């Protein structure tokens, strides 16, 4: 999946309450600081000269049973909490079994 950086900035500003008061420039600057970290982890390829980002693997949301932090982990990443390093991660949001 290939995403335009400007589309990501717009989506973050519109969908996430935490960033409602941020300008597009502030969101973009923060995103550009995070992208190299995600690229180093092997989660994505970013072509900043073309202003695009490509995901390498599917992301999964898991919640830590110890500290309740919600982690977004790539399928190749170690299944450990990014906050406390616990291996006790559960699917988030929890699916109701019927």
Q: What is the pLDDT of residue 45?
A: 87
Q: Are 63 and 92 in contact (CB under 8 A)?
A: yes
Q: Quick check: 17 pLDDT over 70?
A: yes
What angle, 0 to 180 degrees and rounded to 10, lies between the N-to-C axes of helices 5-15 and 24-40?
120
Q: Which pLDDT tens digit goes with each residue over 31-84?
A: 999 999 888 988 898 887 789 999 988 889 999 999 999 999 988 889 999 999
Model pTM score? 0.73
Residue 98 has pLDDT above 70, yes or no: no
**Residue 10 φ/ψ, nearest 5 degrees:** -60, -45
């Amino acid at each position: 999946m290939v995403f335009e950086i400007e589309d990501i900035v717009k989506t973050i500003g519109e969908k996430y309450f935490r960033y409602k008061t941020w300008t597009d420039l502030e969101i973009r600057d923060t995103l550009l600081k995070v992208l190299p970290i995600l690229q180093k982890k092997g989660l994505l390829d970013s072509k900043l000269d073309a202003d695009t980002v490509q995901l390498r693997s599917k992301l999964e949301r898991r919640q830590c049973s110890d500290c309740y932090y919600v982690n977004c982990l790539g399928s190749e990443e170690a299944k450990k909490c990014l906050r406390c390093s616990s291996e006790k991660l559960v699917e988030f949001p929890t699916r109701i079994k019927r």
